[in-house]
Structure 1
């Protein structure tokens, strides 16, 4: 019965979030039950984007993180929910009392369950999934793996990375969950050095692994303007641009792990919609 139900749900579009309007305008249609890759160079807020995305959808989520500590993850979620900077959240948690309680209350409605540990192992994933099903009598609707190279044995071994991608595909099929996996693009290519703030093309994703998922997104961050760029470099059921020349632009707010609308970058012949200050998230 559970298998029948989960496959009936697979294929429907994931809940849309306002900040990704420019991405949707490119024809990007993330769907339930897909494997989705977010690829980018080091320091481009891949984890921030994944965390913001699942927090905004607020679907039951199991998040495997090899990089963040429990305190860091909780601080980023509380910052996202309240609009306070992560430094303010950390100070408030350390102060205790009502400040700590305010941040704990902000996390009360989160549907994200975290699993921390490096490396990520299949045994640990199996145990976490069993515990999740035991607790909720259902699979999570989203599973995040942060990131591919933090799987046991996959740091530099292409064969093992391919095996991980095959395993994640089977996981998505068996559970009906959307599996979001983060991965690195080359920092040493000519493009990385000549235009470091442009989303990497499909051939710059390490190991060529962006071809395996149903949907692969390439991301980059301009640290001078905090313009965050997302290109659809692979999409099985829609438009894509493997060169990553056509991309959506968002505003990144790293201090609060938030993203907001900016504009859509289209071919030069087509003018982009100008952004307005009202598009930017501000703390009330």
Structure 2
């Protein structure tokens, strides 16, 4: 049992803001503040670079990270990181690794500084998570600062069972509390909603996230990729300690470079899916569009 003062003193460090990523400046400008120890959901429709977004995020922060991937193969994940670090396409990475010699060594050297550890396999099982965490602590004598689950529906039994999906979210929250790690979890939004057909490049609203599970984490982001311009749109549909917009009508825009698994700032950082529509009452959003300098 803790008094409010003792609780604040003991947990102030765990609630500090995560290191900022320059490409995400538009997101921070909207008041989004990802923090240590939170559960963060990244939700989007199929093919919207959710895994690439999460991989880029953790690589740029470069905090000690344990990444559970059921959605990417070992080669896909590692080649994406090598591409990100060298600005060579994944095809070039594949060719260089096959060539061997100095080309292979260059890619291995590019990855040497990263603090990302992977666990591959599908489906994801909590027993595997426990075993991997035990091995991580045995190796590093500390818990990872970031744990990534890619993705929620790849957990055993959670493909379509709402009860199992809720159990995954509860366990993820318990894991974050027990370890102090930020837990990122990817999830799907509906491809059958009316908005998915009429406005597919806008981030899905909170009610389009499957199972309504975006309400559980401290922070939920919804993402969408416009393949015609490579604009990557990110909305904050839930934030416990800051402004959010469950309709996803306001979103930050950055540029996605899928061939390098990279992101960069766009000229116009804040967007709205309805340009002349005021922000929802009480949402906390500023109606101002922030522009980057030249």
Note whether the superposition's TM-score is higher than 0.5.
yes
Cα RMSD for the two superposed structures: 1.7
Q: Does 1:202 align with 2:219?
A: no
2:140 equivalent in structure 1: 136
1:264 equivalent in structure 2: 269
Within 5 Å, give how 1:1-284 maps onto structure 2: 7-262=11-266, 263-266=268-271, 268=275, 272-274=289-291
Give the distance between the partners of 1:91 and 1:6, measured in 2 at CA.
50
CA deviations over 1:175-205 (Å, ceiling 9, x no partner) = 0000000000000011111111110000000
Give the distance between the partners of 1:210 and 1:102, measured in 2 at CA.
40
CA deviations over 1:102-156 (Å, ceiling 9, x no partner) = 0000000010000000000000000000000000000000000000000000000
Tell me the CA shift for residue 272 of structure 1.
3.3
Tell me the CA shift for residue 264 of structure 1.
2.1
Q: Secondary structure at the match of 1:9?
A: coil
1:282 equivalent in structure 2: none
Give the distance between the partners of 1:145 and 1:230, measured in 2 at CA.
19
Contact 2:253/2:271 (8 A) holds in 1: no
Give the distance between the partners of 2:78 and 2:225, measured in 1 at CA.
23
Tell me the CA shift for residue 68 of structure 1.
1.2
User: What 5-or-longer segments of structure 2 have no aligned partner?
Assistant: 1-8, 277-286
Q: Secondary structure at the match of 1:155?
A: coil
Q: Secondary structure at the match of 2:183?
A: strand
Q: Matched residue pairs, number?
A: 274
Return the TM-score normalized by structure 1: 0.93
Contact 1:9/1:176 (8 A) holds in 2: no
Contact 2:221/2:235 (8 A) holds in 1: yes
Return the TM-score normalized by structure 2: 0.90
Contact 2:230/2:256 (8 A) holds in 1: yes
Give the distance between the partners of 1:7 and 1:64, measured in 2 at CA.
26
Tell me the CA shift for residue 265 of structure 1.
2.6
Q: Secondary structure at the match of 2:234?
A: strand
2:5 equivalent in structure 1: none
Give the distance between the partners of 2:51 and 2:26, measured in 1 at CA.
20
Give the distance between the partners of 2:34 and 2:45, measured in 1 at CA.
22
